[in-house]
Amino acid sequence: MGVSCHDELCRALNQFRGEFVSIHTQSGDVIEGELQEVTFDCLVKVIESVLVSPFEERRLTVIRCRDIESFSVNLPE
């Protein structure tokens, strides 16, 4: 889905769909995982991997664009 959210940070974030991202929230939380999408109504969906010994589970986390302070992406060498 193309993003039409008017938040510049989320528009930039949307370029990294399918990549591993670290999202830093205004409350100080860090959400890390694969960026699934930035929706039309400014929601960011991230698939996090959660280790629950001895299994690894995948969890969908949804955050509002306005709650994001910054994000980081590892670039290929």
Task: Report the domain count for the chain.
Answer: 1
Domain at 49, CATH number: 2.30.30.100
Residue 2 falls within a domain, yes or no? no
Compute the residue count for the chain: 77
- Note the pLDDT of residue 54: 79
Residue 66 within a domain = yes
Positions of the chain with pLDDT under 70: 1-4
Identify the pLDDT of residue 1.
Answer: 44
pTM comes to 0.84
3-state secondary structure the chain: CCCCCCCHHHHHHHHHCCCEEEEEECCCCEEEEEEEEECCCCEEEEEEEEEECCEEEEEEEEEEHHHEEEEEECCCC
Query: Is 3 within the bounds of a domain?
Result: no
Provide the domain limits for residue 13.
Answer: 8-73
For position 4, what pLDDT does the model report? 64
34 domain-assigned: yes
Q: What is the pLDDT of residue 76?
A: 81
Q: Which residues pair with 30 in a beta bridge?
A: 24
